[in-house]
Amino acid sequence: MEEEKIIEDVTNFIENKRISDLRKYLENINSADFPSILENIDDEKIIMVYRLLSKEKAAEVFVELEHDDQERLINCLTDKEIKNVMNEIFMDDAVDLIEEMPSNVVKRILANTKLEDRKIINELLKYPDDTAGSLMTTEFIDLKENMTVEKAFEVIKQKGLQKETVYNCYVLATDRKLLGVLDIKDLLVAETNQLVKEIMDTNVIEVQTLEDQEEVSKMFDKYDLVAIPVVDKENRLVGIITIDDAIDVMQEETSEDFELMAGITSTTDDSYFKTSVVSHAKSRILWLLLLMLSATITGTITTYFESAISALPILVAFMPMLMDTGGNCGSQTSTLIIRGLATDEISSKDLLKVIWKEMRVALMVGVILGIVNGIRVAIQYQNFLIAIVVAITLVLVVLAAKLIGGILPIIAKKVKLDPALMASPIITTIVDIFSVTVFFTLASLILKI
C-alpha cells in the first residue's frame, strides 16, 4: 500500500515537472524502498530520478538495487558518479558488486576506485564463496587497550561515519591481534577516565575467515549478536560481519533448503521472475529425470504381479492411496528431521533416538489409518479379506516410510551430504517400491491369487 502511494507521488512530481519538490521528497524516502520505485518508472527517467539524490543517498540507494538494475545504472553514470558511489559504499558491498557485474563493467568500476580500496577489494575477492571472509567488511572501529573511555569516544566521533557499525568496537594489540570487544553500551555507561582494557569483554565470540557462512549466521542467532569479528589464523582481526548480512545468509540458506527439498538444483541467486525459462528448466530437469527413471523400478515390480492384477484388477485401485500415504508419511518425518538438523535441534548422534520416536509415532498413525481404510474398504467392496490386506499394508507402509524418512537425512549428514537432499521426492520414490511390493505380495498370499 505505502509503496504504491510513493510510486504515485513520484510519477506525479515527474509529470508536473516539480523537480525540486521531487528532490526533497526523495531524500525522505528510505533507500530500501527505492528498488520497487525505480522498477515502476520508465527507463529513461530512472537516471533522472537517481541524479536528484544527494551523494550519500545515491550510494545507499545503489547498494539496495538488484544486480541487473545496478548494471543498467552504471552504464548511464559518468565516471565521476561511479567514483562517488565507490567512495561511499562499504567494502563488502563493493565486493558483491564486482562479483556480479560483467567484466567490462568491472573494469570501469575498478578504474574509478581509489588504489587503497582496490587493494582491499582484491584481498576480499580471494576468499571462497560462502565463507566468513567473503561476507565481511573492513570498516570497523578499532581501539587500543590503554586508551581512556574519553579517548575512545574521540576516535568514534572522528571515524564513526565511515564505519559500517559503531555498536561494537574492537580492541587490538599493536600486531592487530584481537584482545577484546566493547559493546557501545559498555562505553556509554563507563566513567570517562576508565581504561578500555578495564571494561572490554575478553571472551570474544569470533570466527575464522574460512568458516562456513551458514555456521556464522547460526552464531548470530545463538548469541544474539549484531556483529561478529573475523580473524585470520594468527588471530589478527581482518574484518567484521554485520547482522544484516547474516540475515541475508539465513534467508538464502533457507531458500536453498526449500528448493533442494523440492528437487530443484538452482545455480542462481536471482528471484523467480529474474530467472530465465531455460534456467528454470535446467535446475528442475535433473532430479525429474533421475526420479522418473527410479520410479520405473516400482513399475517393473508390478509386472511380476501381472497375473494377480489380471485376476483381480480392483487391486490397482489401492495403489495410488498406498503410494501417496507412504510418500506423505515419509515426507512429514524427513521434513522434521531436515529442519531439526538445520537448526541444530537434532544432531547426527541422535539416529537411534529418532528411530525410537518415529517407530512409536508410525505405529500410532499407521494403526489409525489402517483401521479407517480397512473399514472403508470392507463397506465399499464388501470384501473382508481385501480390507485386511489393505489395512496391514498401510501399517507396514507407514512404519517403513517414517523410518526411511527419519534415517536417510541423518545418514546424509553423517556422510557430509546436504540432508535436504533426502526430502519428499527421493523418500517418495523409495517408499513407493516398498508399498507396491508389500501390497501385491500380501494380496497374493492372503487372497490366494
**Between 125 and 411, CB nearer to a copy of itself:** 411
- Nearest approach, Cβ of residue 99 and a copy of itself (Å): 20
Q: How far apart are CA 233 and CA 184, in angstroms?
A: 27
* Region of 8-16, 76-84, 122-130, 150-158 interacting with a copy of itself (CB under 8 A): 150-158
If phi > 0 it is left, if psi is from -120 to 50 it is alpha, else beta; for residue 280 that is alpha
The verdict on 103 binding a copy of itself (CB under 8 A) reads: no
Closest approach of Cβ 422 to a copy of itself, in Å?
13
Min CB(189)–a copy of itself separation in Å: 5
The interface region with a copy of itself, picked from 45-53, 76-84, 97-105, 262-270 by CB under 8 A, is 262-270
Residues 319-348 that bind a copy of itself (CB under 8 A): 319-321, 323-325, 327-329, 331-332, 334-340, 343, 345-346
Footprint on residues 116-135 left by a copy of itself (CB under 8 A): none
- Return the H-helix or E-strand segment holding 315: none
- Which residues, other chains included, contact 148 with Cβ-Cβ below 8 Å and sequence gap of 6+? 192, 193, 194, 195, 196
| Grid cell digits, residue 78 | 559518468
CB of 16 or CB of 255, closer to a copy of itself:
255
How many CB atoms within 10 Å of residue 416? 6
Residue number with CB closer to a copy of itself (77 or 178): 178
Q: Give the residue, chosen from 111, 125, 314, 375, that forms a contact with a copy of itself under the rule CB under 8 A.
A: 314
Q: Which is nearer to a copy of itself, 356 or 384 (CB)?
A: 356
Q: How far apart are CA 227 and CA 242, in angstroms?
A: 4
Cell 521528497 identifies what position?
25
Q: Residues 409, 354: contact at Cβ < 8 Å?
A: no
Q: Which long-range contacts (CB under 8 A, 24 or more apart) does 288-296 make?
A: 288/263, 291/263, 291/425, 291/426, 291/429, 294/429, 295/429, 295/432
| 95 forms part of the interface with a copy of itself (CB under 8 A) | no
CA–CA separation, 422 vs 287, rounded Å? Answer: 12
Ranges of H-type helices in 28-138: 34-39, 43-51, 55-64, 67-76, 79-88, 91-100, 103-111, 115-125, 132-135
| CB distance 58 to 50 below 8 Å | yes
Contact segment (CB under 8 A) with a copy of itself among 99-107, 116-124, 129-137, 249-257 equals 249-257
Q: Report the alpha-carbon distance of residue 408 to residue 404 in Å, rounded.
A: 6
Task: Rule CB under 8 A: choose which of 16, 18, 32, 411 binds a copy of itself.
Answer: 32
Place of cell 547498494: 63
**Spatial separation of the C-alpha atoms in residues 361 and 134, rounded to whole Å:** 44
Give Cα separations from 79 to 75, 76, 105, 110 (angstroms): 10, 10, 12, 11
Report the site for a copy of itself in 387-426 (rule: CB under 8 A).
Answer: 424-425
CB of 305 to a copy of itself, least distance (A): 8
Binding mask 352-381 for a copy of itself (x = CB under 8 A): -xx--x--xx--xx--xx--xx--x-----
* Number of residues located near a copy of itself, criterion CB under 8 A: 108
Residue 160 engages a copy of itself in binding (rule: CB under 8 A): yes
Does residue number 247 form part of the binding site for a copy of itself (CB under 8 A)? Answer: yes
Which residue from 261, 410, 421, 443 is in contact with a copy of itself, where contact means CB under 8 A? 261
Kindly identify the residues of this chain, within the stretch 271-290, that bind a copy of itself according to CB under 8 A.
271-273, 277-278, 280-281, 284-285, 287-289
Binding flag, residue 57, a copy of itself (CB under 8 A): no
Q: Judged by CB under 8 A, which stretch of 7-15, 106-114, 232-240, 250-258 contacts a copy of itself?
A: 250-258
Rg of the Cα atoms in the chain: 30
Q: Which is nearer to a copy of itself, 125 or 368 (CB)?
A: 368
Find the binding residues for a copy of itself in span 162-191 (CB under 8 A): 165-167, 184-185, 188-189
